Structure 1
């Protein structure tokens, strides 16, 4: 993650069901659903003002750390998150082995 995002806190916005970071009044976020043992990541998005800044990568990395620390398993249905994990296989360890595309990571 780019250094400018390191000190920006990840917010678990439970009312909107998304993990988010705010950068100069703009948001990068991941929609999620949660069970007792899993966090399902559905869709990653960044406001147009953040396009190309690395904010989407930052919110993904911060969310993966949150999931790891929560001791829950990840279901990466979001194509952006799935592609990120495929590029960074060290994160596969938090993916639930029951995930239908686990072997493609």
Structure 2
């Protein structure tokens, strides 16, 4: 099986994507009023256990940090990733902090 390629930010589909053996894993995004909204992540079974979901989360959150955006993690996977990785918690938009059990 091929190694996952680097995560690509696809402006046309509004997704961070990784392609492997003809399949694509992705995290959708919407840029809105100084925030990046992350509504959905899809990781096909062929990608499971390969760190692809984490790579997608890191790419989306890294983009937010680099561009001074707050993060609105609607996607349960991204929300869970942030809860497990404190280094990203400062990015969470104030209205979402309570939903993740983070201090205001």
TM-score by length of 1: 0.81
Q: Deviations over 1:46-97 (max 9, x none)?
A: 1222122211111111211111101111001110011111111221111111
Question: Match for residue 68 of structure 2?
Answer: 71
**Any idea what SS the aligned residue of 2:77 has?**
helix
TM-score by length of 2: 0.81
Distance 1:13 1:103, change over 3 A: closer
**Any idea what SS the aligned residue of 1:22 has?**
strand
Which of 8, 12, 16 is equivalent to 1:15? 12
The 2-side partners of 1:60 and 1:46 are apart by 11
Count residues with an aligned counterpart.
Answer: 100
Question: Match for residue 45 of structure 2?
Answer: 48
**Any idea what SS the aligned residue of 1:71 has?**
coil
The 2-side partners of 1:98 and 1:21 are apart by 30
Unaligned runs of 5+ in 2: none
- Matched-pair contact (CA < 8 Å) for 1:68–1:94: yes
Give matches, 1:76-91, under 5 Å.
Answer: 76-91=73-88
**Any idea what SS the aligned residue of 1:80 has?**
helix
Q: Deviations over 1:13-37 (max 9, x none)?
A: 2222211122343322101111130
